[in-house]
A and B are shown apart, each in its own frame.
Chain A
């Protein structure tokens, strides 16, 4: 199935949890915040969050800025 991750199409297996998706993409998830369909998913909820077709995800972190 297809999800949208930081604006890009992304193919994943049905039943994939947020934790599984994160661990495959981000070496160190500390300091990463995630929004799923505009709602923040707290780290403690990543395990039990099973992604659905068409989900819009945003992975953000702190970067240099003014």
Chain B
């Protein structure tokens, strides 16, 4: 029995138990992953991670600031012992750059779970799937566990999975756009076909959109800007936590059928 189970019916206890997901042999309870960019400072970032209840945060690999060693360091605020750091290749436009970045990330962190993204151009930041697929193959061969940012193309998603990706991460909309899930049909097709976790990565702008991703059956959602650029990032972080939980529960519960006309909720018999 879990803490908080006292006095609950069996059905309610079931709901209280974890609904975890596993990627590359690592199990997580939270289905929300947040980035660590664009926040006012690392302290705000840490507070958002706390409010969002996340266990994984994405991080970037960049040059050490040697001219000003007093600059705050991410690790002093977002504790790598508490949070799983997921190194990301944001800003890489070729497979070669992404490989170089992730090899350095593995040396810096000492772990092999990484997120690959290879972008095509600055204006759309749309994934370059040819480069992404090539980089995935090399990384898998080198022993990395690769979560892959990709287009919402079900064919490429399958190709990535065949290449050994440990998670498929289609965009909901362009990075930082906040446009929401633009192609729910494709996301659903990817979810139905995948044998590895599927997480919507990028495009979510507000809580309802995170819930939609989860209602489509995704295993999780990754976001950065939606929280970091909210007027109150901490509150939005909490909203996203609730949205992901609500969306997941709604997916598991199974929504009602859509009808063309009304169907009264109160009995018609006994009307006065």
Contact = CB atoms under 8 A, between A and B. Distances in A.
Interface of A: 5-8, 25-27, 31-35, 38, 40, 42-43, 58-66
Interface stretch (B60-68, B232-240, B257-265): B60-68
B165 to A, nearest CB: 19
Interface in B79-114: 80, 85, 87-88, 90-91, 100, 103-105, 107-109
Interface residues of B, number: 36
Given A65-B36, A65-B88, A66-B88, A32 B61 contact: no
A46 to B, nearest CB: 11
Interface in B222-243: 224-225
Contacts of A62: 59-61, 74-75, 80, 85, 87, 105, 108-109
A40 B104 contact: yes
Given A59-B63, A61-B64, 7 more contacts: A27-B69, A33-B107, A43-B107, A61-B108, A62-B61, A65-B60, A66-B37
B59 A65 contact: yes
11 contacts: A6-B64, A31-B75, A60-B61, A60-B62, A60-B64, A61-B73, A62-B59, A62-B74, A63-B62, A65-B59, A66-B176
Interface of B: 35-39, 42, 45, 58-64, 66, 69, 73-75, 80, 85, 87-88, 90-91, 100, 103-105, 107-109, 175-176, 224-225
Nearest to B63: A6
A64 B75 CA distance: 9
Contacts of A42: 107
Given A60-B61, A60-B104, A66 B66 contact: no
